[in-house]
Amino acid sequence: MAKCSICGEEAVYCARYEGRCYCKEHFIRWFESRLRKTIRKFNFFGKKEHIIVAVSGGKDSLAALYYLSKLSKKVPGWKITALLIDEGIEGYRNVTKEDFMRIVSQLGVDYHIVELKREVGLSLDEMVSLSKERGLPYRPCTFCGVMRRYYLNYYGKKLGGTVLVTAHNLDDVVQTFLLDIFRGDVKKIPRLGPVTGVSQHEGFIKRVKLFYEVPEKEVALYSILVGVYPQTFVECPYARLSPRWKIREFLNNMEEQYPGTKYALLRSLLSLVRSLTSEERPMKCVVCGEPSSTPICRTCQLKIELGILEHEPLPPPSQGSGEHQRNKTTSEGSPSREG
C-alpha cells in the first residue's frame, strides 16, 4: 500500500510523472497550491472581480465552483456567479442539472441558468433532428459547442461578469491541440492559451481555463475528495460521435505507457501560443452584433442554415481575403466542454 510522501499516511494518489504519493489531506493541499500558482502565473484574477463560473454539473466545473467559492472567502473583492447553459439534451443535462442545483445550494452561490430552447427556439435535440431533416453536414457537438460558447460570452457580459472561468483541464486542452493539428486548423491554436477573450475584442469577456495545468484524473479525484463528484454518472448521448473521443483514448494510452506525455504536449502548445500571433481579427456580427471572426457569426449562421433565422445573403467574399470569407463548414466545434 502506497504511503504519503509527506506524512507517511495511507496514500490516495501517486503522481507517476513526479514519483510522489499523497494522502487525502496532502493531495487536497497539493492540488490547491498548484491552482494558486496557475492563477498567479497567468494573472487570472485581480483583487476585485465578478467571476462567472461556467458550470455544467460535471465533476470539473463543480470542482472549479467549489474551489473558487472557497478561495473567494479570503478575497473580499470577489463575487462568484455560476452560469449553466441548458442545451436541452434529454436524459443528460436534466440529470447533471440536479447535481448543479445540489452544489450551488450547498455552497450558497448565486446562479443563472440559460436554456437554449428559450434563446434559440429549439433544444439541442430538436436542432439535431432538424439538421438531419435539412441534410446539414454537422455533428451535434457543432451546435452544442458553438452555441454554448456564444451564450456563455453573452450572458457572462450581461450578468456583469469581469472574467469567465471554464473548467477546461490539461486533457481537454491537449486533446483540442491535437484535433486542431489533425484538421490543419493551426490558426485556432492561439485560442488554446490559458487566458483568452478581452484582448481580442471588446465584445469578449476575459476567459480563463482554471485547470489548464492539471490532468483530468486529478480534477476527478479532487472532486471526489471534497464531495462534489456527481452522484449519478450519465454520458452525453452525442459524446462518442465526436472525434475527440478517439483522441482522448489515444492520449490516455500514450500517458499510460509514457507518463508525462500530456505535460510534454502542453509545453509544446505553450511555446506555440507564445510564438503564434493570432490571425483572427474579430469584428461585429452583422446580424446580432456579437464578436465574430466572419461577417456573420457561427451561431447566427447555424440558425440561418436551420431555417430559424432569416437574413439576406451577404455579397460574395473578395478574393484572397480570409477575413471576409463566409464561415467554412466544419464537422465539429472546437473545445466545447465547459466542465
Partner 1 sequence: MRIRWRILGSDWKEVETASTTVEELMKELSLSREEYIASKGGKVLTLDSKIEDGDEITFLPVVSGG
Q: Binding segment for partner 1 among 75-83, 155-163, 227-235, 285-293 (CB under 8 A)?
A: 227-235
Q: Binding segment for partner 1 among 8-16, 107-115, 180-188, 194-202 (CB under 8 A)?
A: 8-16
- Residue 220 touches partner 1, criterion: CB under 8 A: yes
- Residues 238-267 touching partner 1, rule: CB under 8 A, are 238-239, 248-249, 252-253, 255-256
Give 6's DSSP letter: T
Count of residues in contact with partner 1, rule CB under 8 A: 36
- Residue 24 touches partner 1, criterion: CB under 8 A: yes
> Cell numbers at residue 218, please?
486529478
Determine which residue in the list 51, 55, 56, 228 makes contact with partner 1, applying CB under 8 A: 56
Alpha-helical regions (H) of the chain: 24-41, 59-72, 93-107, 116-120, 124-133, 140-158, 170-182, 216-225, 243-257, 261-275, 298-306
CA quadruple 95, 100, 103, 104: dihedral sign: negative
Nearest to 52 by CA among 102, 111, 113: 111
- In the bound state with partner 1, the residue whose beta carbon lies nearer, of 205 and 251, is 251
- Residues 96-155 touching partner 1, rule: CB under 8 A, are 96
Determine which residue in the list 38, 49, 51, 60 makes contact with partner 1, applying CB under 8 A: 60
> Cell numbers at residue 69, please?
467559492
Residues within the interface to partner 1 (CB under 8 A): 1-2, 11-14, 21, 24, 56, 58-60, 92, 96, 216-217, 220-221, 224-225, 229, 232-236, 238-239, 248-249, 252-253, 255-256, 337, 339
